[in-house]
Amino acid sequence: MPRKLISALALLCALLGAPAHAFAYAPARAAKQTALRGNPGRAQLAYTVMQRHFYLQGSGLYRGEPYSFLWPFSQALAATVSLANVPGQQRVYAHDLHVRLFGLRSYLDASNSDAPLGTFTSTLAAFDGAVAPPAGVGGAKFYDDNEWVGIELMRVYKLTHDPATLATAKQIMAFVMEGWSTDPQLACPGGIPFSNAATNTDRNTVTDGPAAELGVQLYRATGVAQYLQFAQQAYEWTRKCLLQPSGMYADHIRQQGVVDPTLWSYNQGSMIGAGALLYQATDNPAYLFQARQTAKAAVGYFNTQALVLENPFFASVYFRNMLYLDAITHDPPGKRLPQLYANYMWQNLRLSSGLFLSGSPSLPSLLTQAAVIQIYTLLSTSPATYF
């Protein structure tokens, strides 16, 4: 059976709630890897180290407690997709992509039907924040984590045209759309909460910006207007409720209307990218103008010194979206800032083992390693591959 078909059947079985024994995963022989140079070479080396230190052979999963949470796993998936998009590397990383999709299946929970009544607000199939039962504890489904996965699945779909991958991304979008807050008693009604835990009423830039991006990706792939309409709804809600006078976006708004004004680079990046994607989907110049305004404000605020204080994951999202906008507008700083950041990481935060440090205390992690790989691949690939 062709490997693509095996992968499609595997994800489709998981999506429909089939038991683990309903299919067998047959790994393919990897294409021969040749040493790359420059930014692609750095990405390749960092990826090899990530697999050596964090991957659990034969499981499809990464180390954690005992397995990693979905958030870092989603970024290991993103790193693999990004390397597959480096010119000449799709065949080299095709096997690894199959393994990532196989591992992703372990997080899928068809419903929270066994949870106490009122614990969760959604019972649609989506991915738990931790490995789902029986291998893990499962738990709440985080909307941003699912959106990161959905964005990457759409990138995989562009590479493989696998209908099951598209079906899974659609299912994630259905989960996100069902999560839209409809309580009129909330301050600034609307928005997507942080998770489907019933007690959660915070609505975030990081859940709405990426939702808009995923919506545009699905609209481009399917032509279904509902995806574009939801993307516009999520984007406009975020501008209405979380845009600050600085032109940048606050982190979240609470139930009673208190806004957390913390500025994170990935929030700015997600909304910049959403604006750029909406501009391309609608030809409405207002979206592009808004993206450029936020980008201008963000460039003045997030220099290299500010960015290294955040986890590299934040910077990877920021740079991806800034470079995507730059491909349309050719505004400064272009690749200069991400290259300065990438050089700083390589020279100052890389251990002799090849692991990268972040945080306080500075420690290596799967999330950091996967993010660094993505930053080097951003500097090695066309922005057309980012979404």
What is the signed CA dihedral for 155, 156, 161, 167, rounded to 10 degrees? -90
For 204, the enclosing helix (H) or strand (E) is strand 203-204
- Residue type at position 221: A
Place of tokens 């040749």: 34
For 278-303, what is the mean pLDDT?
Answer: 98
Mean pLDDT, range 206-210, rounded to an integer: 98
Instruction: Give the pLDDT of residue 119.
Output: 77
- Angstrom distance (rounded) from CA 227 to CA 196: 20
Compute the average pLDDT of residues 119-139. Answer: 91
pLDDT of residue 351: 98
Looking at every residue in the chain, the average pLDDT score rounds to: 91
Question: For position 121, what pLDDT does the model report?
Answer: 84
Confidence of residue 30 (pLDDT cuts 50, 70, 90): low
pLDDT of residue 34: 84
Rounded percentage of the chain residues whose pLDDT exceeds 70: 90
pLDDT of residue 123: 73
CA-nearest of 216, 20, 7, 4 to 110 is 20
Q: What percent of the chain has pLDDT over 90?
A: 86
pLDDT band (50, 70, 90) for residue 110: confident
pLDDT tens-digit readout, 307-322: 999 999 999 999 999 9
Confidence of residue 29 (pLDDT cuts 50, 70, 90): very low
Average pLDDT over residues 229-251: 98
Residue 244 CA: distances (Å) to CA of 148, 164, 205, 249: 25, 40, 12, 6
pLDDT band per the 50, 70, 90 thresholds, residue 120? confident
**Inter-helix orientation angle 143-160/94-104, to 10°:** 150
Q: Is the pLDDT of residue 3 over 80?
A: no
- pLDDT tens for 68-89 read 999 999 999 999 999 999 999 9
Q: Encode 31-54: b = buried (16+ Cβ within 10 Å), e = exposed.
A: eeeeebeebbebbbbbbebbbebb
User: What DSSP assignment string belongs to 322-369?
Assistant: HHHHHHHH--TTTTHHHHHHHHHHHHHSB-TTS-BEETTTTEE-HHHH
**Residues ≥6 apart with Cβ < 8 Å to 248:** 263, 267, 268, 294, 297, 298, 301
Q: Is the pLDDT of residue 93 over 70?
A: yes
DSSP 158-180: HHH--HHHHHHHHHHHHHHHHTS
